[in-house]
Structure 1
Amino acid sequence: MKKKFFFISLIALFTLILAACGEKKEAEENSSADTTSEEAAPTKDTSKEDNGTRTIQYLGESYEVPEKVERIVVTGAMEAMEDMVVLDVHPVGAIAVGGEFPELYASVTDEAESIGEKIKPNFEKILELKPDVILGSTKFPEEVKSKLEKIAPTILVSHISTNWEANLNLLAELSGKQAEAEKVLTTYKSDIEAAKSTLTEKLQGETVAAIRIRGGQAYVYPKEVFFNAVLYEELGLEVPDAIAKAKAQEAISVEQLAEMNPDYLFVQFSADENADAPNAVEDLKKNPIIQNINAFKNDQVFVNIVDPLMEGGPAYSRIEFLKGVQQNLTK
């Protein structure tokens, strides 16, 4: 009897040991399964959001861009192309004119590929270039902007000349060249003050104007647009009535130009904009009404003192135009 009880007790003890071992193994397996499940479950990668992007401000809007912008594509924004020349920023994709990069931008388009003409971006090519940021133009319609935004962060650069400093600083912030931009602006403003002190007395009572010829027709612009901002807002020269009244780009007849009767006239003429009137400047000079204008009588007409493709508003346009004004009006 004692022997039988001993065997029953032994079996019970062995059963308890096996049960305990089983529970321990199950617990270990469950723990392992939980760990594996946690490791395998996808979690949102915030490293790029926290460290790979940054927010910049431009004309009251916020834009999310990569922390380090290395690949910039410019489409439509000639203003941005001029700023790239000033800051020596080299885009991977840039605007072509007539299928080629203008000589005006040659210093920064050495590594760029054409992404289409000024108003006709090639979306497939832009996508192929894998840009970090796309700089478009505020002249773009909404559908073009939407297509660009699907490719990369897109900022529409203002075509309004009064935003020229904001435009330059935008590119500086994207490219890390804030110090260079600050130096450019400081130098330019100093040069304006120096030129103003020289020209104010010399040109007192004189009329200075700038026109652009497109399609054989002469045009004037408002006093804050084109190169007018340099002449009237920065140098403080007297604004002719025809320019003071202009609301946008406006055609001006030879009679109206004669009525303005500028003593000094700057003319911008691009062959690309005058394919049907390649001799427009010469024809203008031959017009008997024009020949009575002071600037023409006194040989004070200056044609293309800067590259005719320059927009007039950006920093590069202003810097180069100011040089031309000083060279020609301080003689």
Structure 2
Amino acid sequence: MKKWFALLILCIMTVTAAGCGAAENKPASNTAKSKSAEATETNINYLDQTYKLKTPVKRIVIAGSLESMEDAKLLGIEPIGASTVGGTFPELFKDITAKTEGIGEKTEPNLEKILKLKPDVILGSTKFPPATIKKLDKVQTTIPVSHVSSDWESNLLLLGELTGKSEEAKNIISDYQKDLKQAKETLKDKSSNKTAVILRIRQGDLYVYPEDVYFNSTLYGDLGFKVPSDIKKAKAQALISLERLGELNPDYIFVQFSKEENSSNPNALKDLEKNKIWTSLKAVKNGHINENAVDPMLQGGTALSKTTFLDKAVKWLDQNN
């Protein structure tokens, strides 16, 4: 009888230990996982405006903002819908648009298509008139993303906060500041007393931008090149004649030319290179012309544009005294 009782106690202890072990090794419940992945309502503060959204967002539509497309590329975010350029997505964004649906051209977002996609948020553009933003906002909360270069950090941090990638965004900004410090040291004897101009050829015409728009914020604000008078006066994209460019006669010229933006005049760059005024410029004579230093579809005032341009431009400028 005693032996039988001792055996019973041993069995009970064995079963209990096994049960405890199973409890100890049991994986975290699905309930706990779902809670951590659950979106929570967040106040997103961006350029003096507050937007209430459930973050992290999963379904993003990018309407008209190529700046946001560049940030998305840098952070590895695939929008469910985005604006097209000439009916397609620029080759630059092929790695994030394999599953993206076109929602119309960047100046004409298609509200019906956006509505069908059921986005969590719409990233618009400050280039849009208020009426367009208002229409988009009726579909879903719309944030007009700045196209001004000086807002590049705020833009990247916005997308990082929306998608749960704030740390990645902060690291990109920090790395840029480190690279910029080194670049300033490299070019300190060159940029302080030299003039530089970035030209964008669009449908055969030459354009310049204000000193805080396009790549100018990097060239002037970050690297310290002298700002020509026409750049200082510009309030937006401004047409510049070859004659006026000849009068400015800058030391360095960056030319951005893409087929997409010159469909009506595909030989514009070749024609420019043959022009007598162009060949008389000191930048041309000294070999200080850089054509497409970076992808011509880059917008200039984004983290991707700035990091890419800083790397390419500094290497080129350092080699061309």
Q: TM-score range by the shorter chain?
A: 0.7 to 0.9
Q: Please state if 1:207 is matched with 2:195.
A: yes
The unaligned stretches of length 5 or more in structure 2 are 1-38
Q: Please state if 1:83 is matched with 2:74.
A: no
Cα gap change, 1:183/1:124 in structure 2, threshold over 3 Å: closer, same or farther?
A: same
* 8 A Cα contact 1:285 1:296, kept in partner: no
Q: Please state if 1:149 is matched with 2:137.
A: yes
For the residues of structure 2 that align with 1:194 and 1:217, how far apart are their CA atoms?
Answer: 35
Q: Please state if 1:250 is matched with 2:238.
A: yes
2:184 equivalent among 178, 196, 221 = 196
Aligned residue type for 1:242 = D
* 8 A Cα contact 1:215 1:275, kept in partner: yes
Cα gap change, 1:66/1:330 in structure 2, threshold over 3 Å: closer, same or farther?
A: same
Aligned residue type for 1:241 = S
For the residues of structure 2 that align with 1:68 and 1:224, how far apart are their CA atoms?
Answer: 31
Corresponding position of 2:43: 55
Please give the per-residue CA displacement for 1:238-289, whole angstroms capped at 9, x wherever unaligned: 1122222323222111111111112221001122222222111111111112
Cα gap change, 1:261/1:53 in structure 2, threshold over 3 Å: closer, same or farther?
A: same
TM-score normalised according to structure 1 size: 0.81
2:301 equivalent among 299, 313, 316 = 313
Corresponding position of 1:28: none
2:286 equivalent among 268, 273, 298 = 298
Q: Please state if 1:171 is matched with 2:159.
A: yes
Aligned residue type for 2:289 = V
TM superposition shift of 1:205: 3.3
Corresponding position of 2:314: 326
1:64 equivalent among 52, 55, 68 = 52
Q: Please state if 1:270 is matched with 2:258.
A: yes
Please give the per-residue CA displacement for 1:16-67, whole angstroms capped at 9, x wherever unaligned: xxxxxxxxxxxxxxxxxxxxxxxxxxxxxxxxxxx74222111111111113
Cα gap change, 1:224/1:146 in structure 2, threshold over 3 Å: closer, same or farther?
A: closer
* 8 A Cα contact 1:94 1:113, kept in partner: yes
For the residues of structure 2 that align with 1:181 and 1:272, how far apart are their CA atoms?
Answer: 30
Moved over 6 A (4+): none
* 8 A Cα contact 2:157 2:166, kept in partner: yes
Query: Superposition RMSD on alpha carbons, in Å?
Result: 1.7
For the residues of structure 2 that align with 1:202 and 1:56, how far apart are their CA atoms?
Answer: 41
TM superposition shift of 1:110: 2.2
Corresponding position of 1:226: 214
Aligned positions, number: 282
For the residues of structure 1 that align with 2:128 and 2:182, how far apart are their CA atoms?
Answer: 38
Identical counterparts, % of pairs: 49
Q: Please state if 1:93 is matched with 2:81.
A: yes
Corresponding position of 1:287: 275
TM superposition shift of 1:176: 0.6
1:162 equivalent among 143, 150, 161 = 150
Cα gap change, 1:205/1:113 in structure 2, threshold over 3 Å: closer, same or farther?
A: same
* 8 A Cα contact 1:222 1:245, kept in partner: yes
Please give the per-residue CA displacement for 1:78-130, whole angstroms capped at 9, x wherever unaligned: 11111111111111111211111111111211221111110111211111111
Corresponding position of 2:24: none
Corresponding position of 1:32: none
The unaligned stretches of length 5 or more in structure 1 are 1-50
* 8 A Cα contact 1:210 1:227, kept in partner: yes
